[in-house]
A and B are shown apart, each in its own frame.
Chain A
Amino acid sequence: MTSPVDQATVGERVVLAFHEVRKTFPDGTRALDGVSFAVPRGQFCVLLGPSGSGKSTLLRCVNGLVAPDAGTIEVIGRRSSPRTLPGIRRRVAMVHQHFNLVERAPVGINVLTGAIAQVPAWRALLHWFPEPLRNKAVALVLRVGLEPQHLHRRVGELSGGQQQRVGIARAFLCDPDLLLADEPVASLDPSTAQDILSLLREAARERSATVLCSLHQPELAVRFADRILGLRAGRIIFDGPPEHLDDAALARIYGHGFPTDRLELAA
């Protein structure tokens, strides 16, 4: 069997490739322990794993919020390094668990800041965004299911689900090649979580953007993913389509307590 990296690097279809990436935090936590995989263009790839399995660290290595100790990362054909990072970051957007929006700023401005790194400095400092960009932001706000009157409301006044819709609109403003989603629905109720994931998937498909999304609910992963990567203790221990994620695989990812563990918690 050829490794996923070898398969990936042959074509230009590959958007993201990890090769033997390792990261140990100063406190001794080994977050990534030799991670290798490749994601082809347009795939909705879900990272599944318990808390502390390294999902966040993996995602944050892609856009350089965390610097790996060893291994190489290739994003959109460019080897990630401090020199290439600014260019990579402009092509890679991120949706965050806690939305990471500016709560005091209105929805419209929050969406427009998605282009903050791509407009000239004077426009960025004056928040004087060009008209095509403003029109695009409005269209995106409507696309993610918000109303025109939301444009001028402060983000802090919106519900969690609405805030994440703003976060998605911001992420898609500059048509990223790769979208990273770090537990995008972990702070939302189950039905909103479904809506948000559907939106994320459809919006990504419309723009043929690749998505790498971490989740901790297997049922959501199975429902939305093209491919699932199971992560445990910093290693990929499952890699395959959702159909292959059976109870045995889940037990390997979450430990043998799964799923009885969760039922006990619910009781």
Chain B
Amino acid sequence: MIRAIRPRFREAAARLDPPYDWRTALAVLVVGFCLILSGQRVELDRFAALTGEAILAQLGLAEESQVGRGLGRMIRSLLPIAVEERRELARLSEIDRENLPWLARIERVETTRYELDRQTLQLVPVVETKEYLVEPFGYLLRVLGKMLETLEIALWATILSVLLSGPLAILAAANYTPHRSVYLAARGLVSFLRAIPELVSALFLVLAFGFGPIAGILALGLHAAGFLGKFYAEDIEAADKKPQEALLALGASKLRVLRSAVLPQVAPSYVAYTLYILDRNVRMATVVGLVGAGGIGQELKGRYDLFEYDHVGTILVVIFVTVFLLDQLSARLRARLL
């Protein structure tokens, strides 16, 4: 991946120059100028102004800022997060009043509404009683279930990508490919898979396979296969040649050399790449859910569109906690496997 920059020994001059000269200064000037131009195009100046205003507002040196207002409103609407599930009993068809779900209770809420009396043409209060089925941890459990689905999508996407990229990497490794044309085709396929963003392929796969986890698994798995195929292949190419030669000299076939001389060498980095892909797939599985590819993302999008920000808050907390726990888990797994 990273190749050492080799000094060009055209003529050996018997002196050592300082590492920078006027060309370095010129390059720095040109790059700086381009960055300034680009910064204006992406509104970095406005970003600086708004952020500065928000900080001043926090310090009490300025009036309320736009950014602070927006952030505050968002946080207020996310909190308190929704934990219970409250559904109107009249709309639930299959509820046995004698045998409610675990921890669930029925709440009666009396609401008064005013109705126009047609005779007297006066507003008279009408008391209505509505019954709600309240499950204290209902929504949290529902979100956890969705999170589990997301984890499963990520897991299967990772399995799919490893199964695809393993053979692909052998074909795409210059020293183990059966033929130059196979090598080019495999490299091309790997680049192609990597070039399509998950979110975009998920959009199309949802059209093909319908809403749900299949589209998510395929979208994530195919993209990750492109990533893993490239890195697996590069590791095969860079593996120490000496043990490979030793086994070749004993008459071992390419596949046997790969298994016995290459795999033990590349195994640690393969574990690292695959764990990274699993980690990335968990995060991306929530994102592809936004376009209907199953899991917690789909729930998030639905609640967001209904302005139920307290539910959105619950989902966000669950995502944060899951990603954090997974990070710890994968660090331990790495330490054990490497």
Instruction: Report A's interface with B, CB cutoff 8 A.
Output: 63, 65, 85-90, 92-94, 96, 98-105, 109, 113-114, 116-118, 121, 124-125, 127, 170, 174
Interface residue tally of chain B, by bracket?
Answer: 20 to 34
Q: Which residue of A lies closest to B257 (CB)?
A: A116
B268: chain A residues within 8 A (beta carbon): 104
B249: chain A residues within 8 A (beta carbon): 63, 65, 89, 92, 94
Asked if B247 and A113 sit within 8 Å, CB to CB, the answer is yes
Asked if B252 and A100 sit within 8 Å, CB to CB, the answer is no
Given A89-B251, A93-B250, A114-B250: A102 and B259 interface contact (C-beta under 8 Å): no
**C-alpha gap A100/B242 in the complex (Å):** 5
Asked if A86 and B242 sit within 8 Å, CB to CB, the answer is no
Instruction: Tell me the residues in window 249-286 of chain B with beta carbons closer than 8 Å to chain A beta carbons.
Output: 249-253, 255-256, 259-261, 264-265, 267-268
In the complex, B245 has a CB within 8 A of chain A? yes
In the complex, B195 has a CB within 8 A of chain A? no
Asked if A65 and B260 sit within 8 Å, CB to CB, the answer is no
Asked if B250 and A104 sit within 8 Å, CB to CB, the answer is no
Given A65-B245, A96-B242: A125 and B255 interface contact (C-beta under 8 Å): yes
Asked if B252 and A104 sit within 8 Å, CB to CB, the answer is no
Instruction: Report B's interface with A, CB cutoff 8 A.
Output: 240, 242-243, 245-253, 255-256, 259-261, 264-265, 267-268
Asked if A124 and B250 sit within 8 Å, CB to CB, the answer is no
Given A100-B245, A105-B264: A124 and B259 interface contact (C-beta under 8 Å): yes
* Tally of A-B Cβ pairs under 8 angstroms: 75
Chosen A-B contacts, 29 in total, with CB atoms closer than 8 Å, are: A63-B249, A65-B245, A85-B251, A87-B251, A89-B250, A89-B251, A92-B249, A96-B242, A96-B245, A101-B243, A102-B264, A103-B243, A103-B265, A109-B260, A113-B261, A114-B250, A116-B247, A116-B252, A116-B256, A117-B252, A117-B253, A118-B251, A124-B252, A124-B260, A125-B255, A125-B256, A127-B259, A170-B246, A174-B250
**C-alpha gap A99/B267 in the complex (Å):** 21
Asked if A124 and B246 sit within 8 Å, CB to CB, the answer is no
B243: chain A residues within 8 A (beta carbon): 100-103
A63: chain B residues within 8 A (beta carbon): 249
Q: Which residue of A lies closest to B239 (CB)?
A: A102
Given A113-B261, A125-B259, A127-B260: A100 and B246 interface contact (C-beta under 8 Å): yes
3 A-B pairs with the lowest CB-CB distances in the bound complex, closest first: A89-B251, A100-B246, A117-B251
**C-alpha gap A124/B258 in the complex (Å):** 11
Given contacts A65-B245, A121-B255, 18 further A-B contacts (CB under 8 A): A65-B249, A86-B251, A89-B251, A93-B250, A100-B245, A101-B243, A102-B261, A102-B264, A104-B265, A109-B264, A113-B250, A116-B247, A117-B252, A121-B256, A124-B256, A124-B259, A127-B259, A127-B260
